[in-house]
Structure 1
Amino acid sequence: MNMSEEDVQRKLRDLFSDERLGVGPTLNPETIVAGARRRRRRRQLMQTTSGMAAAVVLLGGGLTVFTIHDRDNGAAFPGGDQLTIGAASSSLAQPAPGSSAPPVSSQAAPPNPTSGQPQSTSHDEPAPPPKSTASTKPPAPRKVTTGALLTPAGFGKLRLGMSEEEAEAAVGPLRAKDYRASCVYGYVEGTAVPGPASVSLTDAEGITVINPAGTVHTPEGIGVGSTESDILAAYPGSTKNGSAYFAPAGAGSAYRISLADDGSAIGILLTRVDQSCQFS
């Protein structure tokens, strides 16, 4: 049963004016009512403040702040209308029935101080293959230095292109002359040449072939026993004709390298490229 303030005041006056109490009223009923009214307002204020705090928590820990003013004196107190607004805002934040809830964003983890540094993967990488010790280049030609030296120019003091008179003046008389067609054949020996050698010549071209009788080698290290690969490595422009290679020697001259059945060199002579005499 709710009583009005007038009823309360009347009851208090009757209570304190009752002669059975034996004392006169010492308290003013209006003062007591005013104090009760203040206590009631404080209780309402505490209840309203507690409800507003709960609404703020529901709105996400302070994401939305409402400034509430008391309608009577303008003091900043939260009121019942603001609680209704907060509840409505909270209901708007909830997903509608049938719709999927938005993903909850979790707080980002603190950065790892070592995450920016590249991790060493040396233990994961395969070991590099060992370097091959085998040479990928073709083997160097075997150098032959056995015997006398036969150069692109000639053999000792005997030179390609010399006339018969020039050759005899340089190395001695041409022996065992043999005339066939336009060619003259013979051989020379003595201290002016490293060893005996057969020659052929013509009146127009002079000496066209020098064919040493003994073992010789060229300045490039090709001699008796050299292989075909040795010949081609020393003279890349060589051409093969039958059982012999013609290797370029100098201006207008070439080495004729005779081969055995196994492909090794067995003899070398020097010849003019353009000549018609036989190889004696």
Structure 2
Amino acid sequence: MNMSEEDVQQKLRDLFSDERLGAESTLNPETIVAGARRRRRRRQLMQTTSGMAAAVIMVGGGLTVFSIHDKDNGAIISADQLSLGQSATSQVQPGPASPAPTASSSAPQTSHAPAPPPSTASDGPAKPPKSTAATKPPAQGKVTTGALLTATGFGKLRLGMSESEAEAIAGPLRAKEVRGACTYGYAEGTAVPGPTSVSLTEGNGITVINPAGTVHTPEGIGVGSTEADILAAYPGSTKNGGAYIAPAGAVSAYRIFVSGDGSAVSILLTSLDQGCQFS
């Protein structure tokens, strides 16, 4: 049964005014009620404070259960102190701030992927690469057609033979003609591969051998050879009019006549020291 404060005061007044107490009480009912109210509030405050203190002590390093005493009614809470130990303290109390990981240690290193190769796709047909080297005309190759004309002679005829020696081998010179110091004739027969014009002098003998047919040299130069072929076979050649003078031996040379397109058309053999015409 709950009683209001007024009911309690009235009950206290009746109690203290009872004549059976034998003396008038000096206690004031309002003072008693006010004191009881203060004790009740103090008890509630202490209970709240004890809970907060327990939480603070647990965070600080251990669990502390303590006694709170009321001045008027004695102990409200009896307790002893318990230590949680160093392990609990280390878990609750924050330690020194750990340094934040540096960007170089925590950030993953990024690897740069190689750039993709340029596209080989073509919008049109592939173009051949441009050549920087000068294009040379293809070599004609060695010419082996016709009779062989060497640096010393043609067949059995030799440069330097006298007229009598030449006629002893090839027979009398046909169409012999003397013009000044030079004698011109025409030799044929088994002594030569084909009809041949010769020029000679009394002092030097045969100085020019000019075959009428197609011939070629041991170096492969003949009818159809190009100027490039001639220069390649005889690097010391010089051009004189429409013919190349190509060194053949110590005392002889080839006279290679070329057409307008630069191809060889005929070849004769001559001594280097001679003054007769080419018949």
Deviations 1:82-135 (A, max 9, x none): xxxxxxxxxxx9xxxxxxxx96555254x89xx7xx9797x6585999799xx9
**Is contact 2:186–2:195 with CA below 8 Å preserved after alignment?**
yes
Name which one, 1 or 2, has greater alpha-carbon Rg. Answer: 2
- Root-mean-square deviation (CA, aligned residues, Å) is 4.6
Aligned letter for 2:210? N
Structure 1 unaligned spans of 5+: 16-31, 64-92, 94-101
Deviates more, 1:140-149 or 1:247-256: 140-149
Aligned letter for 2:231? L
TM-score, normalization by structure 1:
0.57
Distance 1:172-1:107 versus aligned 2 partners, 3 A rule? same
Structure 2 unaligned spans of 5+: 1-41, 47-65
Q: How does 1:242-253 map to 2 (within 5 A)?
A: 242-253=241-252
**Is contact 2:139–2:228 with CA below 8 Å preserved after alignment?**
no
SS of the residue 2:183 aligns to: strand
CA–CA separation in structure 2 for the residues paired with 1:45 and 1:233: 105
Distance 1:274-1:120 versus aligned 2 partners, 3 A rule? farther
CA–CA separation in structure 2 for the residues paired with 1:222 and 1:46: 111
Aligned letter for 2:214? T
Q: Percent identity?
A: 61
Aligned to 2:81: 38
Aligned to 2:205: 206
Matched residue pairs, number? 211
Aligned to 2:166: 167
Distance 1:152-1:103 versus aligned 2 partners, 3 A rule? same
Aligned to 1:20: none
Aligned letter for 2:182? C
SS of the residue 1:55 aligns to: coil
What is the CA distance between 1:278 and its match in structure 2? 1.4
Aligned letter for 1:192? A
Aligned to 1:145: 144
**Is contact 2:208–2:268 with CA below 8 Å preserved after alignment?**
yes
Q: Which one of 69, 89, 95 corresponds to residue 55 of structure 1?
A: 95
SS of the residue 1:38 aligns to: coil
What is the CA distance between 1:192 and its match in structure 2? 0.9
TM-score, normalization by structure 2:
0.57
What is the CA distance between 1:209 and its match in structure 2? 0.5
Aligned to 1:255: 254
Q: How does 1:1-280 map to 2 (within 5 A)?
A: 36-39=79-82, 42=83, 49=90, 52=93, 54-56=94-96, 59-60=97-98, 104-107=103-106, 109=108, 138-280=137-279
Aligned letter for 1:38? Q
CA–CA separation in structure 1 for the residues paired with 2:194 and 2:186: 10
CA–CA separation in structure 2 for the residues paired with 1:156 and 1:51: 126
Distance 1:270-1:46 versus aligned 2 partners, 3 A rule? closer
**Is contact 1:171–1:188 with CA below 8 Å preserved after alignment?**
yes
